[in-house]
Amino acid sequence: MLKRLIAISLLFSSLLALAGCNTVAGAGKDLTDSANAVKKAL
C-alpha cells in the first residue's frame, strides 16, 4: 500500500513538473539548468 502511494505521488509530481515546462524543449532546458546547479554545488 505504501509503495503504491509513493509511486502515485511521484507520478503526479512528475506530471506537474512536465506541465510547468509546457514543451519538450522547455523540459530539456530545465533538466540542463538543474544539472548545472548540481555541478556548481559539488
Domain ranges for the chain, please list them. Answer: 2-41
Kindly state the average pLDDT of the residues 5-13. Answer: 83
Indicate the DSSP class of residue 22: -
Distance CA 37, CA 33 (A): 6
pLDDT band at 4 (very low <50, low <70, confident <90, very high): confident
Indicate the DSSP class of residue 8: H
* pLDDT 10s digits, 12-36: 888 777 666 666 667 678 778 888 8
The whole-number pLDDT of residue 29 equals: 80
Q: CA 21: distance to chain centroid?
A: 10
Q: CA 20: distance to chain centroid?
A: 10
Q: Are 18 and 27 in contact (CB under 8 A)?
A: yes
pTM given for the model: 0.44
